[in-house]
Chain A
Amino acid sequence: MVLLGQMWHSSLSYVEATYSFWSLCGVSPGARRRASDLRCRQRPNIRASPLHPADLQSHSVALAGYPTPISVMVGLSLGEQNFIKGGIAQDLRTDGRKRLAYRPIFVETGVIPQASGSARVKLGATDVIASVKAELGKPNPSHPNKGKVSIYVDCSPTAEPTFEGRGGDELSTELSSALQRCLLGGKSGAGAGIDLSSLSIVEGKVCWDLYIDGLVVSSDGNVLDALGAAIKAALSNTVIPKVQVAANASSDEQPEVDVSDEEFLQFDTSAVPVIITLTKVGKHYIVDATTEEESQMSSAVSVSINRQGRICGLTKRGGAGLDPSIILDMISVAKHVSEQLINKLDSEIAAAEACDEETEMDS
């Protein structure tokens, strides 16, 4: 009787009432998902309003409006929302984790044989693939002794049906620009996590162009962290061929370069930062939010921190305002979490590479 009273109180439509009744009878998860799809079509529940793109600023502390189609996809009832918020307040989340615990991370390297380096990272149900391709190119005239790196993320429609066609473009550009901000430093190339001068071959004429491509195969929250981890793993898996420059080239001509098939240079990734996203739900912060938890967030701060504990980039998302002291607190929490994450990630990458070498030796 109390349950019925609650249903009428929140003025559910007929479809929702039917769903709640049948969920008591134990309907299969597939039907439940479809029923919840039906429900969210009836009453869209927009939680966080996206900011106008004009608010985007180009220096490293940027207020970025993250488009949140997430809350429209996940139709949560009032009871479920209260359960998520209450759990977070009591340090016991829906899947049993503590607030600052990550889901199990699985790293697999060398998944794309034709790329210079690649990795696949699974963070719970979030699955992303990153690949690095090195091609010869001409350096930027304003930075003749530096190579070029470009990061591009593609959201596959297998992750979310709304990413079909151009639907995933907004999220892709947000993720690409967030990753560029975190990993590539400022416009002059200073402070980049990747050492760009190591990519130069002949100053002003020939350099390596690194194309880093990310693909989101399945998304269940915290895609940015997973992409950061995947890019770090892919870079540590990258081998760049050694290049011999013909010695008799004149200063005007394009020098001849001979790309060797035998010798390779391993990329140095000790300076590449990891990205940690802290999501604020109510009064507490959680790390590694799932899609349902993200739909309840008021704001989120993504910090990229390197092994030395220095901050390499910062992004705040979400419409709610934050007190500056809270942001500083979140940054210090992120630093604390980052040590464990970096160690875990490095051990996973080393294990994956060892596994990769074993399979190579077997075959």
Chain B
Amino acid sequence: MEYVNPEGLRLDGRRPMEMRQLRAEIGVVSKADGSAVFEMGNTKVIAAVYGPREGQNRSQQSNDQALVNYLLQSQPACLNFVLSKRPSFWVMSLHGCQVRCEYSMANFSTGDRMRKPKGDRRSTEISLVIRQTMEACILTHLMPRSQIDIFVQVLQADGGTRSACINAATLALADAGIPMCDLVTSCSAGYLNGTPLLDLNYVEDSAGGPDVTVGILPKLDKVTLLQMDSKLQLDTFENVMQLAIEGCKAVASYIREILLENTKQLESRRGVK
């Protein structure tokens, strides 16, 4: 099947280096501390952030506290061992806040109706990926003994849900006022019919070609997430990854615009200007 026709247009009329249309909105779920909707073409995702708030697992708390106090006084050298061997929630959160994430897809998000919206392996894997990516950029040491929950709900899935979720989570964290070292933006790219393509949709994704998802910290110029499936030549891979990074930077400038606009609105509402 031809994914790039001879004139150089893809199935939905985009150029190979063109991203889908981006749309974002902040403050959608009023009950959450921070929330955002992010749309990349037909992929629509809602992210809500609750936190920082008190940690949830309190059953082991008193035991751990006693143990840690004892070790601090008598044998501080053992403390490292304890922390590495028994990483219970409370002990881990001593140093910084715990970040938890859950990714769920709505029943109606895909073309065929999904039976089980949560708990399947793909959702668990994506939850883990988002958690690790966001944890890298949140300044967790500023909020010890607390917990941040990031919930991502996919309303419409048309390829690139992972990237849309990370972008939505960044906006939601910014809306919640949680200190981060930089924004995290993500974009995917692929290689079909001999051309690197930016921002694959569902049809192009299921074509069997490679799919490279990249997440970067734009200002610091560092890559935090890199995933690829299928196979690719090494020099082609460099091109595709570079293309994805350009896409991430474009998303970052859009996110910055949205955040600036939101701040101006907040300012005018509070009567600052």
Q: Spell out A's residues near B (CB within 8 Å).
A: 30, 33-34, 37-38, 41, 111-115, 118, 125, 127, 129, 131, 133, 135, 152, 154, 156-161, 164-166, 211, 213, 215, 217-220
- A218 in contact with B155 (CB, 8 Å): no
Is the beta-carbon distance between B155 and A165 smaller than 8 angstroms?
no
For A34, the chain B residues whose CB sits under 8 A away are 52-54
Cα A115 to Cα B157 in complex, Å, equals 12
* A157 and B102 contact, CB distance less than 8 A: yes
Whether A114 pairs with B30 at a CB distance below 8 angstroms is no
Question: How far is B104's CA from A217's CA once the two chains are assembled, in angstroms?
Answer: 12
Are A112 and B155 in contact (CB-based, < 8 A)? Answer: yes
Contact between A165 and B102, CB atoms less than 8 A apart: yes
Give the complex CA separation of A339 and B32 in angstroms: 34
Within the complex, which residue of A127, A158, A220 is in contact with B151, where a contact is CB–CB below 8 Å? A158
By a CB distance below 8 angstroms, the chain A residues around B32 are: 158, 218
When each residue 31-54 of chain B gets 1 if its CB lies under 8 Å from chain A and 0 otherwise, what string results? 111010000001000111010111
Q: B133 within 8 Å of A by Cβ?
A: no
Q: Is B213 an interface residue (CB 8 A)?
A: no
B157 to chain A, nearest CB (A): 9
User: B54 to A114, Cβ gap below 8 A?
Assistant: no
Residues of chain A within 8 A (CB-CB) of B104 are 154, 156-157
Using CB atoms, name the residue of chain A closest to B149: A161
Which B residues, 3 to 49, have Cβ-Cβ distances below 8 Å to chain A? 28-33, 35, 42, 46-48
Contact A164 to B53, CB < 8 A, known contacts A112-B108, A129-B155, A133-B113: no
Q: A135-B113, A157-B104 are in contact. List 20 more A-B contacts (CB 8 A).
A: A34-B54, A38-B54, A111-B155, A112-B108, A113-B156, A114-B108, A118-B108, A125-B30, A131-B107, A133-B113, A152-B107, A154-B104, A154-B117, A156-B153, A159-B29, A164-B149, A165-B119, A215-B153, A218-B28, A218-B30
Residues of B contacting A165 with CB < 8 Å? 102, 118-119
Q: Cβ of B225: which chain A residues have Cβ within 8 Å of it?
A: none
Size of the B side of the interface (Cβ < 8 Å), in residues, is: 36
Q: Please tell me if the beta carbons of B46 and A158 are within 8 angstroms of each other in the complex.
A: yes
Separation of A220 and B32 alpha carbons in the complex (Å): 11
Residues from chain A with a CB closer than 8 A to the CB of B113 are 133, 135, 211, 213
Q: A114-B156, A213-B106, A215-B106 are in contact. Are A161 and B50 (CB under 8 A)?
A: yes
> How close is A31's CB to chain B, nearest CB, in angstroms?
10
CA distance A115 to B113 in the complex (A): 9
In angstroms, how far is the closest chain B Cβ from the Cβ of A166? Answer: 8
How many angstroms between the C-alpha atoms of A129 and B32 in the bound complex?
18
Q: How far is it, in angstroms, between the C-alpha of A170 and the C-alpha of B75 when the chains are bound? A: 47
Contacts of A213 in B (CB 8 A): 106-108, 113
* Cα–Cα distance between A129 and B152 once the two chains are bound (Å): 16
**Residue on A with the closest CB to B117?**
A154
Given contacts A125-B30, A164-B102, A220-B31, contact A115 B108 (CB under 8 A): yes
Closest 6 CB pairs of A and B: A158-B48, A131-B108, A157-B151, A213-B107, A218-B29, A125-B30
Return the contact of A217 from the options B42, B46, B100 (Cβ within 8 A): B46
Nearest chain A CB to B265's CB is how many angstroms away? 17
- CB-based contact B29/A114 at 8 Å: no
The answer to whether B177 has its CB under 8 Å from any CB of chain A is yes
Interface check B271, CB cutoff 8 A: no
Rounded to whole angstroms, the CA-CA distance of A325 and B48 in the bound complex is 44
A45, B29: Cα distance in complex, Å: 25
Q: Chain A's nearest CB lies how many Å from the CB of B17?
A: 24
Q: Known interface pairs A114-B108, A129-B155, A215-B106. Does A158 touch B117 (Cβ–Cβ under 8 Å)? A: no
Q: How far is the CA of A33 from the CA of B46 in the complex (A)?
A: 21
By beta carbon, the residue of chain A nearest B147 is A161
B119 contact set on A, CB distance < 8 A: 165-166
A129 CB, nearest partner CB in chain B, Å: 7
Instruction: Give the contacts of B37-79 with A (CB-CB under 8 A).
Output: 42, 46-48, 50, 52-54, 58
Residues facing A in B90-146 (CB within 8 A) are 100, 102, 104, 106-108, 110-111, 113, 117-119
In the complex, A118→B109 CA distance in Å? Answer: 12
Q: A164, B151: Cβ atoms under 8 Å?
A: yes
Please report the C-alpha to C-alpha distance between residue A125 and residue B110 in the assembled complex, in whole angstroms. 27
Docked-complex contact A33 and B33, CB < 8 angstroms? yes
> B220: shortest Cβ distance to chain A, in Å?
27
Given contacts A37-B53, A213-B113, contact A158 B35 (CB under 8 A): yes
Can you sample 12 A-B contacts with CB below 8 Å? A34-B52, A112-B155, A127-B28, A133-B108, A156-B104, A157-B151, A158-B29, A158-B35, A158-B46, A215-B106, A217-B29, A218-B29
For B50, the closest partner residue in chain A by CB is A161
Taken together as a complex, chains A and B put the C-alpha atoms of A31 and B100 apart, in Å, by: 20
Given contacts A30-B177, A112-B156, A164-B149, contact A125 B108 (CB under 8 A): no
**In the complex, how many angstroms separate the beta carbon of A70 from the nearest chain B beta carbon?**
12
Which residue of the partner chain A has the closest CB to B49? A158
A154 and B106 contacting across the interface, CB-CB below 8 Å: yes
Also in contact, A37 and B111, with CB within 8 A (given A158-B46, A164-B151): no
Residues of A within 8 A of B176 (CB): 30
Minimum CB distance partner of A209 in chain B: B113
Q: Which A residues lie within 8 Å of B117 (CB)?
A: 154
**CA distance in complex: A164, B118 (Å):** 10
